[in-house]
Amino acid sequence: MSALAGQIEALLIASSKPVSVEALAELLPDADIAAALGELSRYWQGRGMSLVEESVGVSLLPSKTAAKALSQVGGGNGRRLTEAAVETLCFIALNQPVTVKEIEIARGVKLFKGVVDALMDAGFVRASMRKTDSGRAVTYVTTDLLLEHFGLSSVADFPTPDELEDMMLQQPEI
């Protein structure tokens, strides 16, 4: 691995957030950042880490297989979402931006305020803009943390409702 790729690797490991290509270019002027990122990506391919390029920047994260093993080592210390929270999160992800009223209509039940609060506390959802019609209700959208948690690079990577229906039909019944 080249010295430049090694420097970028160290910056990515030391950073708690994705690092933008622009920031890398400022830190390492006159360097071919794209070539170094390509080299770094090839180096980590098939190993326990992977170079993830997102709209907000570049991260060095555990690969999907390593992440699965890491989750088993953790012993379940992570946050658990209720079934209502998971349903709400799925609806927001697929239909964003949405209001609480739209979620309630889609789910057919009144939404407990704590559900959206729990999703916001987890960092998966944030309040967005207000609707311009009837009462100026707050809308909710998913965050980059949700994308990162599920290994997605953009909202476009979420399955469509038709794809979800096909997946549900393929699941064996318990």
Residue 75, domain member (yes or no): no
Mean pLDDT, residues 128-144: 83
pLDDT digit string (tens) for 31-89?
999 999 999 999 988 888 888 888 888 988 887 777 777 666 654 455 677 888 888 88
Q: Residue 173's pLDDT is what?
A: 45
Residue 56 and residue 134 share a domain:
no
Q: Residue 52's pLDDT is what?
A: 86
Please state whether the predicted TM-score (pTM) of the whole model is above 0.75. Answer: no
Residue 159 and residue 91 share a domain:
yes
Task: Tokens 């880490």: give the residue.
Answer: 49
Residue 70, domain member (yes or no): no
Domain range spanning residue 46? 3-64
- Any idea what the CATH number is for the domain that residue 10 is in? 1.10.10.10
Cα gap 86→91, rounded to integer Å: 9
Q: Residue 37's pLDDT is what?
A: 92
**Residue of 119 and 147 predicted with greater confidence:** 119
Distances from the Cα of 61 to the Cαs of 49, 65, 74, 117, 118, in angstroms? 5, 11, 16, 28, 25
Domain count for the chain, please give it.
2
For residue 156, the 8-state DSSP code is G
